[in-house]
Amino acid sequence: VNQEMVVRLGAVSRVGHARLIAERFGRFWAWFSVADLFILDFATIVTEFIGVSLALGYLGVSEYVSVPIAALGLVLMTASGSFRRWERFMFVFIVANLLVIPLVVFAHPHAGPVFQKLVTPGVRGGFNSTSILLVIAIVGTTVAPWQLFF
């Protein structure tokens, strides 16, 4: 909802979200929103590094190795090159995600349970604190605060 609202405001006014805040509410609220953006982005990056350490920890890589390498990779990708190069590099991950389709076919799943879960989704074990935390984590990584400003 928030992202759609920001897109509509930007499309109609032809200016960004931060500029709209500055023009409508003044410089204080513009700086407040930018400071808030930095704090939330920092928290988002921290959670991303937590995810990196947990994922690579599952594969046996120490967090003292995985997090610095991920941080160095982030700095190198951000500081060296254009957005176009970064965008093209992301196609590697798109291809990796598309490889899941043949893996599913090779696993020979039973069609009945697959279609049943496709029509009536649910959470294994029911809705408890762990499953709700998972839903919050997925939504939290999907809607990031910086998306509202661009």
| pLDDT tens-digit series, residues 72-98 | 988 888 888 788 888 888 898 899 999
The distance from CA 86 to its chain's CA centroid, rounded to whole angstroms, is 16
DSSP 120: S
Higher pLDDT among residues 141 and 8, named by residue? 8
Chain-centroid distance of CA 131 in Å reads: 19
Measured CA to CA, the distance from residue 19 to residue 147 in angstroms comes to 15
What secondary structure letter does DSSP report for 124?
A: T
Query: pLDDT value at position 141?
Result: 67
Q: How confident is the model at residue 58 (pLDDT cuts 50, 70, 90)?
A: confident
Q: How far apart are CA 97 and CA 90, in angstroms?
A: 11
Only one residue has tokens 């893996």, namely 103
State CA 91 to chain mean position distance: 16
